[in-house]
A and B are shown apart, each in its own frame.
Chain A
Amino acid sequence: MRRKLLVAAAIAALSAGASAQNVKIGVVTFLSGPAAAPFGVPAKNSAEFVVEALNAGKGPAPYTKRGFGGASIEVVMLDEAGSTTTQVTEFRNLVQRHNVDLVIGYVSSGNCLAIAPVAEELKKLVNFFDCGTPRIFEDGSYNYVFRTSPTATMDSVGAALYVKDAKPGVKSIAGINQNYAWGQDSWGDFELAMKVLVPNVEVKTSQMPKLFAGQYNAEISALMSAKPDVIHSSFWNGDLEALILQGGPRGLMKQSLTILTTGETAMHKLGAQIPDGTVLGARGPFGPYAPNNAYNKWFLGGYVGKYKEQPNYASYQMAQAFLGVKLAWEKAQDANGGKRPTNEQVAAALKGSTFEGPGGTVRMAIGKGHQAIMETAYGQTKLEGGKLTVVNVKRYPAEQVNPPEGVKSADWIKSGFKAK
């Protein structure tokens, strides 16, 4: 199926402009390298499933129209691997050579930051579905750039709130995060939030191993000898799994309450190896924290049916990215008298909109209506009958874990989470 889509896309690209009926969407995500397994491929699978279902008119209400407003969706899939220079080059190619109608994609914050101004320059709508840095809309404002998933600030603030709830007498924290922007920001926000919630909390150590180091024995030794009450980690994929595999047998998670903010991706693969009581995050109400609504039933059932494996939060984020844009497209099309809407019209419809998806309600409430907020949830693992489940789930409403409009994340946390 994928190959047919690609071939179709290639032929369509070569005969540029021939199939004006279809809506051509560029999808960019990691197809190679270490980020492929936890984010890229689940997102790709999600995109393919959603497009297939929508094109067959099998979406749940109000997403029942075929494709986008009656026109079939055609996907041009691109690998997000490679340097930012490569990504910017390929984005320009997507827009100017393949003539896509809009672009959905990008996991890496570095790429998102680089692509945003290019999208503005080329006047092409781009919807970031996963990247976490809050800087995009805090440091700039755009007309054509959107993000239908909450920022990483939410993960760190939610984590701090959960820690305070789960371990009210917490006195010391420590962290092990990857030494690059994502890890630095995640830890930074968590530390800041903890200092606000528990003013005298002691930071025992902050381990910052290199990204993809894979071997954490030295860091685990340092953490275990420091004996903090809580350990925070925003590790993902192989690093996350290595941490669990190396730390678990050594008793790391038993000694300290360990909170893994993107831990959900390891649930399905490592399952039984995750010690009970480990706190897992899914970067929002996704995966095990998804609400039991009609959209989740449709998405979960369809995804598992097609791929025989569980979708993770990247899959959910991709799905809601498509759904949000679809709704905006169709709203703009109706306002345009049934004719194909321009990027500007779709942008106007997407701005400030609210829509429902398999993760629940998405409100494009900050970043001048371009950035989404959602509630978040955290829970602890428990092995029940050989299957990994989450217990002690706590949900935090969107306004409690996302900064208000116009306020920078760091400032908001420092002010004690003051709502506007």
Chain B
Amino acid sequence: MKIVNVTHGSFYALGAYAAASLTGAWLARGYPPMLSYAVLFVAALGVTLLVAPLIERAILRFMYAKDEVVILLITYALFLILEDVIKLVWGVNPYFIAQPYALLGSFTVAGLAYPTYNLILVALALLAGLGLTWLLHSTRVGKLLLAVIHDPEISRAMGIDVNRYYLVTFTFGSLLAALAGAFTAPTVSVVPGLGVEIIVLSFAVVVIGGLGSLPGAALGAVIVGMVRSLSVHYMPQVELFVIYFVMAMVLAFRPRGLFSLAEPRKI
């Protein structure tokens, strides 16, 4: 959508907190823990549907005509506001819902115990990625969306309700962030500041993969994850900035990321 969206991080945090609250309540009431995975999903969905359209309709809608940088700043301001809103609603204490994570136990690979839950995360990511690709390229709705992103003016002239598409896109994008947050929540302690770390990492992934390219994003994520794990194992001292180093290297040799869409040049 040509927005650099800092609020994405907030949705990650919102998803995590909502999941923590809802799942915590669910488990406390003694409902079957196996269904808690569905609860995570519902929590993410709920909080996104509540917040995303509000932000899009109330604020972002008026800003699309503005400069990219201004939009970025607006999302940054929104991020600051949402950080404190989260603090007001959920307080500063860490939340944790360990059960969905511990429930599935672990399995051993090469002598190391590895939690089964992590496989779920991988499966979810694959599902989301493939689903989104299918949606964008094989359905009518998806193709129209690509048209809207490419050139909103002509799309509008051809009768597409551009505003509605923006709303849906923003909401859907935020939903993905919230899902990520919700499903990560059982593996970490949900604390204030959760959204900050993830933003820069996700930008790094997108840049490495190439803007606008879904397979690029997937590859970028795999690269970032592998590089980090490898450096943790073999050279723990550089773990801090190795991601940025990779980002710089990729950009140095492929200025538009690994898989970038061709962009027309203005003459």
> Within 8 Å by CB, do A and B touch in the complex?
yes
A residues contacting B by CB (< 8 A) are 31-34, 36-37, 40-41, 179, 205-210, 212-215, 217-219, 221-222, 224-225, 237-239, 241-242, 245-246, 249-251, 269-270, 273
Cβ of B115 within 8 Å of any chain A Cβ, yes or no, is: yes
Give A219 to B192 CA distance when docked, in angstroms: 23
Cβ of B163 within 8 Å of any chain A Cβ, yes or no, is: no
What's the least CB distance linking A178 to chain B, in Å? 11
Give A237 to B93 CA distance when docked, in angstroms: 9
Please, which residues of chain A bring their CB within 8 A of the CB of B38?
A: none
Q: Are B193 and A33 within 8 A (Cβ)? A: yes
- Interface contacts beyond A205-B236, A208-B236, A242-B189: sample of 13 additional A-B pairs, CB < 8 Å, sorted by A: A40-B92, A209-B239, A212-B193, A213-B197, A214-B194, A221-B114, A222-B233, A238-B191, A239-B189, A242-B188, A249-B101, A250-B113, A273-B98
Please, which residues of chain B bring their CB within 8 A of the CB of A224?
A: 112-113
Cβ of B228 within 8 Å of any chain A Cβ, yes or no, is: yes
Please, which residues of chain B bring their CB within 8 A of the CB of A209?
A: 232, 236, 239
What's the least CB distance linking A184 to chain B, in Å? 10
Give A212 to B229 CA distance when docked, in angstroms: 16
Q: Are A32 and B94 within 8 A (Cβ)? A: no
Q: In the complex, which residue of chain A has the Cβ closest to the Cβ of B197?
A: A212
Q: Are B111 and A237 within 8 A (Cβ)? A: no
Give A196 to B101 CA distance when docked, in angstroms: 41
Q: Are A238 and B189 within 8 A (Cβ)? A: yes
Cβ of B106 within 8 Å of any chain A Cβ, yes or no, is: yes
Total cross-chain contacts (CB, 8 A)? 102
Contact A32/B191 with A179-B240, A210-B240 known, Cβ cut-off 8 Å: no
Q: Are B118 and A238 within 8 A (Cβ)? A: no
Q: Are B189 and A241 within 8 A (Cβ)? A: yes
Please, which residues of chain A bring their CB within 8 A of the CB of B184?
A: 215
Assign chain B's interface to a size class: 35 or more
Please, which residues of chain B bring their CB within 8 A of the CB of A269?
A: 93-94, 96
Give A213 to B96 CA distance when docked, in angstroms: 16
Q: In the complex, which residue of chain B has the Cβ closest to the Cβ of A273?
A: B98
Give A207 to B74 CA distance when docked, in angstroms: 38
What's the least CB distance linking B53 to chain A, in Å? 27
Q: Would you give the 0/1 interface string for B162-195, flagging 1 where the beta carbon is closer than 8 Å to chain A?
A: 0000000000000000000000100111111110
Cβ of B150 within 8 Å of any chain A Cβ, yes or no, is: no
Contact partner, A207, options B113, B114, B189, B232, Cβ 8 Å: B232
Q: Are A208 and B197 within 8 A (Cβ)? A: no
Contact partner, A241, options B94, B197, B232, B240, Cβ 8 Å: B94
Contact partner, A34, options B113, B191, B233, Cβ 8 Å: B191
Cβ of B102 within 8 Å of any chain A Cβ, yes or no, is: yes
Q: Would you give the 0/1 interface string for B93-130, flagging 1 where the beta carbon is closer than 8 Å to chain A?
A: 11010100110011000011111001000000000000
Q: Are B188 and A238 within 8 A (Cβ)? A: yes
Give A134 to B111 CA distance when docked, in angstroms: 42
Q: Are A245 and B98 within 8 A (Cβ)? A: yes
Q: Are A237 and B232 within 8 A (Cβ)? A: no
Give A251 to B188 CA distance when docked, in angstroms: 17
Pairs A–B under 8 Å by Cβ, sample size 16: A31-B92, A32-B83, A32-B92, A32-B192, A37-B93, A37-B94, A41-B93, A209-B236, A210-B240, A217-B114, A222-B232, A239-B189, A241-B189, A242-B188, A246-B115, A273-B98
Q: Are B232 and A219 within 8 A (Cβ)? A: yes
Q: In the complex, which residue of chain B has the Cβ closest to the Cβ of A180?
A: B240
Please, which residues of chain A bring their CB within 8 A of the CB of B93?
A: 37, 41, 269
Q: Are A37 and B239 within 8 A (Cβ)? A: no
What's the least CB distance linking A262 to chain B, in Å? 14
Q: In the complex, which residue of chain A has the Cβ closest to the Cβ of B193?
A: A34
Cβ of B84 within 8 Å of any chain A Cβ, yes or no, is: yes
Contact partner, B237, options A208, A215, A246, A270, Cβ 8 Å: A208
Interface residues of B in 57-107 (CB under 8 A from A): 83-84, 87, 92-94, 96, 98, 101-102, 105-106
Give A212 to B94 CA distance when docked, in angstroms: 13
